[in-house]
Amino acid sequence: MIRLNNITLPALFALVLSACTSSSLANDSVGLVDKQVFSTRDFPTYNGQQIAEVNVGWEAYGELNAAKDNVILITHFFSGNSHAAGRYSENDTLPGYWDALIGPGKAIDTDTYYVISSDTLVNQEPHNPMVTTTGPASLNPATGEPYALEFPVVTIRDFVNVQKALLDSLGVTGLHAVVGASMGSLQALDWATAYPDFVERVISVIGAGAVDPWTIATLQQWANPIIADPNWNNGNYYQGDAPVEGLRQALGMVTLQAMHPLMFNQIYASSSARETAPLHDIRANFTVVNQLNAAAEARTRFADANHLLYLVRANQLFMAGFAEDLATGLSPVSAKTLFLPATNDLLLQPYLAREAHNTLLELGKESMYEEIEGPWGHLDGVYMLEQKAGLIEEFLASD
């Protein structure tokens, strides 16, 4: 087993991604990509409200065919964005998160498919210059001030409906597949329930068909530090001090729960229960706590506390099909489905994907199930998915 002592979490992620992708804009890469913006007005939300103007960033790889039916949609995870492959410039240190899977001759072959990825509503990082999203931090056209908590509660279905509006604007007539990890997997499966005649295949990576009480309560732990921060001020902090401390604690919790102890203990092996400072001073942190705090602090730069709260709620509300039960919700599905949970995932545990898979089989639908092996836990769906490249390629090419 490789030892990874004394390395920060962001640096380690960079190391892993670099190991999985080319260090240059080689022929097997999608190369340089452009970020574009899609806008729509008077967007109706699932809960019956309306957003005056929606803007989301998107990017694409490959070529759209004449029939406009060779499209694969990539739906991103909770803390991610539309940058699934390629680089924005030759100086970029890292490509998109699935660059090892998307490109000419790769599992998601851009010589064959036109691959689209978009930012979601209420993206976690509205202050990231490479993200375009609409959410609580956006200006309300009616007031000229940030929406704050006046922004409507949005759901995974709303994410899907914005993507559908984007595809309609491009004249896309159907999706060869929708592929997504974590929160992206929820979107992928809901696509098949919302637009069953539009979607041929779904690949759900580290996902679920519905969240259960355990998962709802777990996700709430990400929201609680923000709500408890006095600077949150019931969401009205845009003219004052932001709840950075609560946001840092929340992002630290996200990082911790997305990892398995197998990898976490390697990354932070230098921390020890025998450290002397915590023995003598209750205010002194263990090294691992300081390191995790530093990694989370770095992530607050582009993040917004209200956006994180809205993302948490969208995930907590999820059931594919938004019906009274999962079987009813999945009953419209006509797409072939492939579930790829991670064996060591402690966040969206494999039983959640297995329940959706078994429900589809009981409904007489076509579904496959395989688990991703690895030491990362939930993050195996990003960092270890290449082990399923052959299966993904075969599934996408199947009749």
Q: Which residues are catalytic?
A: 182, 345, 378
Nearest-CA neighbor of 100 among 203, 31, 33, 20? 20
Count of CA atoms in the C-beta half-sphere (13 A) of 346: 15
CA–CA distance, 284 with 192 (Å, rounded to integer) = 51
Run of H or E including 245: helix 244-257
Which bin fits 144, alpha (ψ -120 to 50), beta or left (φ > 0)? Answer: left
| 59 touches 35 (CB < 8 A) | yes
Q: Give whole-number Cα distances, 21 to 9, 31, 182, 258, in Å.
A: 18, 12, 21, 22
Nearest-CA neighbor of 96 among 118, 111, 125, 114? 118
Could you tell me the two tokens for 380? 């195996």
Residue type, 279: L
Which bin fits 265, alpha (ψ -120 to 50), beta or left (φ > 0)? Answer: alpha
Burial 25-57 (b: 16+ CB within 10 A, else e): beeebbbebebeebebeebebbeeeebeebebb
| 70 touches 116 (CB < 8 A) | no
Could you tell me the two tokens for 31? 């190369």
